[in-house]
Chains A and B, each alone.
Chain A
Amino acid sequence: MYNDVVYFALNYKGVLMNLSFSKEDQEFQQEVRSFIEQNYPSEIKEKQDQGIPLSKEDTVKWHKILNDKGWLAVNWPEELGGTGWTITQKHIFQNELAAANTPTLMPFGVNMCGPVIYTFGSDEQKEFHLPKILNGDIWWCQGYSEPGSGSDLASLKTKAEKKGDVYVVNGAKTWTTLAQHADWIFCLVRTDGSGKKQEGISFLLIDMKTPGVEVKPIITIDGTHEVNMVYFDNVEVPVTNLVGEEGFGWSIAKFLLAHERTGIAGIPSLKRELDRLRDITTQIQVGEGSLKDDVMFMSKLDRLEIKLTAAEYTELRTLAAMSAGGHPGPESSILKILGTDLQQELSDLFVEAVGYYAHPFMTEEDLASNESRIGPDFAAPVMPHYLNYRKVSIYGGSNEIQRNVISKAVLGL
């Protein structure tokens, strides 16, 4: 276990250091652990452990609990509500949350829009938005992709024309995750159609209740409603909702994509899920024994664990470099690829493990209902998860695009 792990990290000079948890770190770990024990609502924990989809209220509840403690915006500057933790503390914190299987919080406010606003926003924007992001009163969604602009994001067409003190927005965004629950959307819009395509893009904050905004569901292959089309028909947005200068949107987007990619590896949750799968193998009867006796299958778990360790230490090295003053740059692309590959492989091993009981079609409603599940409880969420997780190599910049980034920005090709 990583609790008492002795781990290495490369500092920015490339000198190999031997880091172990200091006494303070160990105390910190204990503090986090007992906080979770005392404050993680049991009804949410139960749902999480049984693979029952959480409601928005559940997620918001946990969000507020962390915020009340001051542990929500871990990476924000201290004066704005951040923690001021060292990378070791952040690492400990994320691992403890994941090990306890606490809800994954929506990244759009705290990890994405928040940093954009405190880095590039006006004082009014900071004052208005940052507190609401922290207390969870406002949910954000991300309006980047369009039907014609996925990997080639800079080709986006949603138009914002300045007329007096408003921008009039027309166009369509797609794949907008959880837009059906969001109060605000941060959008990349085109304010200038001449010149280089990257240069005419601006970053605009839009209240979803503004007349002319329409959200339509997109159903995915696992049968769920997670993503949406968002249409803008002559939507009037106050010019004060522009972040930074007109035409500065692409720079902000690049800044934000780097932020989006660091967390995306999801290493701590991978560790928990791998442990869970090991545990499940003892519960899957195969003839007179269990799946744990199947050397072929179990060796796949070991292989995955080694890959996972390689990814974990790659992340630690990146974090160490960042804390020494670097920025999350193209290296985060490596983490995105490694992490999402692992997430997909693991989701497939779950499917393999449960055999035929991956075949019943369990909708979100089935998973949430009180009726007993078909087959063992742990089997039901496995296939929907495998299908749903096809997305992780597509979104956040597809893994092909990440490879293009690495080849250009890291290898210099």
Chain B
Amino acid sequence: MDFSLTEEQQLLQDSINQFIEREYTFDDRKKFLDSEKGFNEENWKTFGSLGWLGMPFSEDDGGYNGGPVDVMVIMENLGKGLIVEPYVPSILLSGKILADLGSDDQKSNYLHSMISGEKIVTFAYIEPQSRFNLSDCLTKATVSDDGYVLDGYKALVHNASASDTLIISARTSGNQCDEKGISLFLVDANAEGVSLRNYSTIDGGKASELTLENVSVSKDSLLGEIDEGFTAIDNAIDLATLGICAEAVGIMGKMNEMTLEYTKTREQFEQKLSQFQALQHRMVDNFMHYEQSKSLLVMCAAKMNDNTEDKKKALASLKYQIGLSGKHIGEESIQLHGGMGVTDEMQIGHYFKRLTTIRTLYGNSDYHLSNYASL
């Protein structure tokens, strides 16, 4: 049994940490958030040239043949830096779908330039009523003479306003919650009938509500087979789930570090806060939450290529734990900072907010616990 990273993975980790140290300080990040797109395009190209964007893809697809462990390494370290660039939507979701379903043409038109950092493609699948159910899809696509016509509404589409193209799930047959009958389409973000209502999210990201009215797309915008999009959606969400859980572990580690540091510096009653046993035990609990989360993360990354049931069970365990530990570490870290913890000026609150949205993304703890029970 060996839990250590390979030399390449170690180098990858070092290069991300170096990047954050040099180019992604808290003040830099603030500037990126305030820009129009909500992140920095130069950074994105840098990620491309350093090979981070191509990591999850095969060499044939123009990638670097990385596996789930590499994705884990990237996301955990991006988490430590609280990176807002769209790695999850454009790479782990849309990139994965294109890699699974894309034709040669589609790959060369989209995937290659996504990997190089030139194009951003987001994935629109959440609907107001769908909550966490991936097969709940009311947006409709009907067959027309020269392709398809899409109508419907998608919620919380991350980084849509910075995307050139959207992958959109739409029902081509069956009932609201059927797995069969969902198809995936590549849609130009500027196509007629596509309208976005853009907003910031609480964790520093950007998202949009997306309305589709009579949006015509050509035949070759269909990804894979008609009615058969569900498996690719499910696989992409699985990879993204691993990704955000790794991100959460990076965040939790960082929050624990910052809290320890703060309590070792701040004095009340002529003592460092870290000298109060009541608080020491709280930090021990935070540390144990981190260790359990990290253990399930490593376990899950190792099982991503196993048979479906083992992988699903691992993912459900992991995301369940991240929900619990995310709440615990998040809230406790703020509490131990006292009033300083709730100020916008301190970094800790920003980590807390990202950890809080991750608790919900791709299903909260309850959802994953029921998944686990049903497996």
Determine whether B201 belongs to the interface, using a CB cutoff of 8 Å to chain A: yes
Q: B341 near A394 (CB under 8 angstroms)?
A: yes
Binding-face segment, A218-226, A232-240, A245-253: A218-226
Query: How near does chain A come to B251, taking the closest CB pair, in angstroms?
Result: 15
Contact A361 B339 (CB under 8 A): no
| CB of B120 to closest CB in A, whole Å | 20
In this assembly, does B345 line the interface, its C-beta being within 8 Å of a C-beta of chain A?
yes
**Is the Cβ of B338 less than 8 Å from the Cβ of A359?**
no
B177 / chain A contacts, CB cutoff of 8 Å: 287-288
Q: Does B369 lie at the interface of the complex (its beta carbon under 8 Å from any beta carbon of A)?
A: yes
**In whole angstroms, how far apart are the Cα atoms of A174 and B357 in the complex?**
30
Pick the contact of A348 from B269, B327, B334, B353 — CB < 8 Å?
B327
Asked if B342 and A221 make an inter-chain contact with CB atoms under 8 angstroms apart, the answer reads yes
Q: Is the CB of B278 within 8 A of A219?
A: no
| Contact partners of B345 in chain A: CB under 8 A | 218-219
Known interface pairs A358-B360, A361-B199, A400-B279; A221-B353 also in contact (CB < 8 Å): yes
Question: Considering only CB atoms and an 8 Å cut-off, how many residues of chain B contact the other chain?
Answer: 48
Considering only residues 254-306 of chain A, those with a C-beta below 8 Å from chain B are 285-288, 294, 296-297
Alpha-carbon separation in the docked complex, A348 to B326 (Å): 13
Chain A residues within an 8 Å CB radius of B278: 400, 403-404
Interface of A is mostly: mixed
Q: Is the CB of B360 within 8 A of A297?
A: no
Q: How many A-B Cβ pairs are below 8 Å?
A: 127
In Å, the complex CA distance between A390 and B202 comes to: 15
- Whether the pair A219, B339 counts as a contact (CB closer than 8 A) is no
Nearest CB on B from A396, distance (A): 12
Spot the interface stretch: B40-48, B125-133, B302-310. Answer: B125-133
B118 touches A (CB below 8 Å): no
CB contact between B202 and one of A155, A287, A360 (< 8 Å): that residue: A360
Q: Provide the bound-state CA to CA distance between A393 and B349, in Å.
A: 16
Q: Bound complex: CA of A152 vs CA of B131, how far in Å?
A: 46
Interface pair B207/A360, CB less than 8 Å apart: yes
Let me know if A60 is at the binding interface, CB within 8 A. Answer: no
CA distance A297 to B356 in the complex (A): 18
Residue pair B369, A296 in contact (C-beta under 8 Å):
yes
- Interface residues in A185-237 (C-beta closer than 8 Å to B): 218-221, 223, 227
Q: Does B49 contact A (CB under 8 A)?
A: no
Q: Are B338 and A151 in contact (CB under 8 A)?
A: yes
**The one of A149, A351, A391 that contacts B342, using a Cβ cutoff of 8 Å:** A391
Within 8 Å of chain A (Cβ to Cβ): is B343?
yes
Q: Are A356 and B366 in touch, CB under 8 angstroms?
A: no
Contact A393 B132 (CB under 8 A): no
Specify which of B132, B343, B350 is in contact with A219 (CB 8 Å cutoff): B343
**Does B110 have its Cβ within 8 Å of any Cβ on chain A?**
no
Asked whether A394 lies within 8 Å of B156 as measured between CB atoms, the reply is: no
Bound-complex Cα distance A145 to B268 (A): 12
Does A375 belong to the interface (CB within 8 Å)? yes
Q: Which residues of A contact B203 (CB under 8 A)?
A: 359
Residue contact A390 to B341, C-beta cutoff 8 Å: yes
A348 to B132, CA, bound (A): 18
Whether B155 lies near A285 (C-beta < 8 A) is: no
- Of B270, B338, B353, B370, the residue contacting A398 (CB under 8 A) is B338
* C-alpha gap A220/B349 in the complex (Å): 9
Assembled-state Cα–Cα distance A145/B366 (Å) = 40
Known: A285-B129, A400-B278, A403-B278. A352 touches B364 (CB 8 A): yes
Asked if A374 is at the interface of the complex by the 8 Å CB criterion, the answer is yes
How far apart are the CA atoms of A388 and B344 in the complex, in Å?
11
Of A344, A348, A351, A404, chain B has the most CB atoms within 10 Å of the CB of A351
What 1/0 mask marks residues of chain A from 347 to 391 whose CB sits below 8 Å from any chain B CB?
010011001111111000000000000110000000100111011
* CB-defined A-B contacts under 8 Å, sample of 8: A150-B338, A221-B342, A358-B360, A375-B155, A386-B356, A387-B202, A394-B342, A400-B278
